[in-house]
Amino acid sequence: MKQLVFVFIGGGFGSILRYIVGKWLNNTENGIPYGTFAANILGSLLIGVILGYAAKNEAISQNHTLLLATGFCGGFTTFSTFAYENHVFLKSGDFTTFAFYTIASFVVGFLAVFAGMYLVKFI
């Protein structure tokens, strides 16, 4: 039960921050969801740092990992929003933005995880 509370608290904070980032960065004029993109990339970088640090030092407890990686990063990143935004691009026939946004999100997201794990080497 204690582990669920850690995930719940982390997820709540991550979701609140995702909402703030989305309100601040999503562009309603051209429809490009920079906020979702930023949340997914930052979340990928952060989970790379958290899990890389946990694996390197064994200094982060399982509860802290649940709070930060599973909870916060899980609440902060936005795959369901990402999927919906891509649906909107496809429905409107904007295949170029769909392709760019999807490919960039996957490639930069993966690179951010690897960068986070690499950065841990210097901590």
* 66-109 pLDDT per residue, tens: 999 999 999 999 888 899 899 999 999 999 999 999 999 999 99
pTM for this prediction = 0.82
* 108-120 pLDDT per residue, tens: 999 999 999 999 9
Which phi and psi (to 5°) does residue 59 adopt? -95, -15
pLDDT > 70: what percent of the chain? 100
Q: What is the pLDDT of residue 84?
A: 84
Q: What is the pLDDT of residue 95?
A: 97
Q: What is the pLDDT of residue 23?
A: 92
Q: What is the mean pLDDT of the chain?
A: 92
